[in-house]
């Protein structure tokens, strides 16, 4: 049940093998296998509680996996392997790994005490120790790119949900990530604001960014995704091209889900 697109992409960006994750006695991920190629856009679909968000959060080690292997760009996430022994990474090493992985949250999670520009500048200045002047220029360019060049001085509370989420995308891009994770980026938005965020994401996909998107936007998945993965009950039920998984689902569980959301 591996979503293998190795035929179309040269290198592998994310490789998950039998990933397990439990919260207490509840096993949320029961062995996820997934391969995401460089430049590929993968959409994770599935009912709530299927483990798709948890899996996404494992990819940048916001959640620690209990079993299996998970690597990004050939590097194990959260662990170091020496022989056949695994060593837990130090907090600083985890932080260093996360620099290359951007994440966008359902609830935006912008820093409310900073302006849009300061939000975008924060990580380049604090983490990459970039000079403030150059970080400012680059951050303004990023805000321009998401269509918010004129909102640089606004605080998050002064922005609409859609604008906040676009700032959040610019903030993640400021670290020049090789991989972007989106955790239901439009689920907290008013319906009329969903489009502006999806447009930014489409542009990003067109530029060749590797993206993993947890979403309920079937239309977006059909249009933008190279691979659609349907998850349920902590396992990958079905994966493949959008035309197959969404257009002609094979598994009854996928069929049932899509018949309700389409």
Partner 1 sequence: MSAVVSAAPAASRPELITAVPVRRTGQWISAAVVVAIVALLVWSVATNENLQWSVVGDYLFDGSILRGAVTTIQLTVLSMVIGVVLGVVLAVMRLSANPVLSVVSNAYLWLFRGTPVLVQVVIWFNLALIFPTLGFGSFSVETNSVITTFGAALLALALNEAAYMAEVVRGGILSVDRGQTEAAHALGLTGSQTMRRIVLPQAMRVIVPPTGNELVTMLKTTSLVAVIGGTEMFGVAQAIGARDFTTFPMLIVACFWYLAMTSVLSYAQSKLERRFARGTQAGIANTPGTLQRLLGSRLPARTATPGGTR
For partner 1, the closer CB: 120 or 237: 120
What distance in Å separates the CA atoms of residue 212 and residue 51, rounded to the nearest whole number? Answer: 14
Phi then psi for residue 56, to 5 deg, are -60, -40
Stretch that binds partner 1, among 78-86, 103-111, 135-143, 190-198 (CB under 8 A): 103-111
For partner 1, the closer CB: 12 or 119: 119
Residues 146-165 that bind partner 1 (CB under 8 A): 157
What distance in Å separates the CA atoms of residue 58 and residue 178, rounded to the nearest whole number? Answer: 16
Stretch that binds partner 1, among 68-76, 80-88, 95-103, 200-208 (CB under 8 A): 95-103
Stretch that binds partner 1, among 39-47, 68-76, 111-119, 141-149 (CB under 8 A): 111-119
Strand boundaries in the chain, DSSP class E? 12-23, 26-37, 41-45, 67-72, 75-76, 79-82, 85-88, 101-104, 179-183, 210-214, 227-232, 235-240
Check: CB of residue 30 under 8 Å from CB of residue 20.
Answer: yes
Task: Give how many residues touch partner 1 by CB under 8 A.
Answer: 27
Stretch that binds partner 1, among 41-49, 70-78, 109-117, 208-216 (CB under 8 A): 109-117
Task: Collect contacts of 255-258 with beta carbons under 8 A, ≥24 apart.
Answer: 257/45, 257/46, 257/47, 257/230, 257/232, 258/218
Out of 25, 85, 113, 129, point to the residue binding partner 1 (CB under 8 A). Answer: 113
Out of 41, 103, 205, 212, point to the residue binding partner 1 (CB under 8 A). Answer: 103
Check: CB of residue 176 under 8 Å from CB of residue 129.
Answer: no
Q: Does 129 bind partner 1 (CB under 8 A)?
A: no
Residues 10-69 that bind partner 1 (CB under 8 A): 60, 62
Give the number of other Cβ atoms within 10 Å of residue 217's Cβ: 21
Contacts with partner 1, residue ranges (CB under 8 A): 60, 62, 91-92, 95-96, 98-99, 101-103, 105, 107, 109-113, 122-123, 126-127, 157, 168, 171-172, 175
């Amino acid at each position: 049940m591996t979503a293998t697109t190795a035929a179309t992409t040269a290198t592998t960006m994310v490789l998950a093998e039998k990933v397990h994750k439990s919260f207490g006695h509840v096993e949320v991920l029961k062995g996820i296998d997934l391969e995401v190629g460089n430049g590929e856009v993968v959409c994770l679909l599935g009912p709530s509680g299927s483990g798709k968000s948890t899996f996404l959060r494992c990819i940048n080690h916001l959640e620690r996996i209990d079993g299996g292997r998970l690597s990004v760009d050939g590097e194990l996430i959260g662990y170091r392997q020496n022989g056949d022994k695994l060593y837990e990474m130090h907090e600083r090493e985890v932080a260093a790994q996360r620099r290359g992985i951007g994440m966008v949250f359902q609830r935006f999670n912008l820093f409310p005490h900073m302006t849009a520009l300061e939000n975008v500048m924060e990580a380049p200045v604090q983490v990459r120790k970039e000079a403030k002047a150059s970080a400012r220029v680059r951050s303004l360019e990023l805000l321009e790119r998401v269509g918010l060049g004129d909102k640089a001085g606004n605080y998050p509370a002064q922005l609409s949900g859609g604008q906040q989420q676009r700032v959040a995308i610019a903030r993640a891009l400021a670290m020049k990530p090789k991989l972007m994770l989106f955790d239901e980026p439009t689920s907290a938005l008013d319906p009329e604001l969903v489009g502006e965020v999806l447009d930014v994401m489409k542009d990003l996909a067109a530029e060749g960014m590797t993206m993993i998107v947890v979403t309920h936007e079937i239309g977006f998945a059909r249009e933008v995704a190279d691979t659609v993965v349907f998850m349920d009950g902590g396992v990958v039920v079905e994966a493949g091209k959008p035309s197959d998984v969404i257009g002609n689902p094979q598994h009854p569980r996928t069929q049932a889900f899509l018949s309700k959301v389409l």
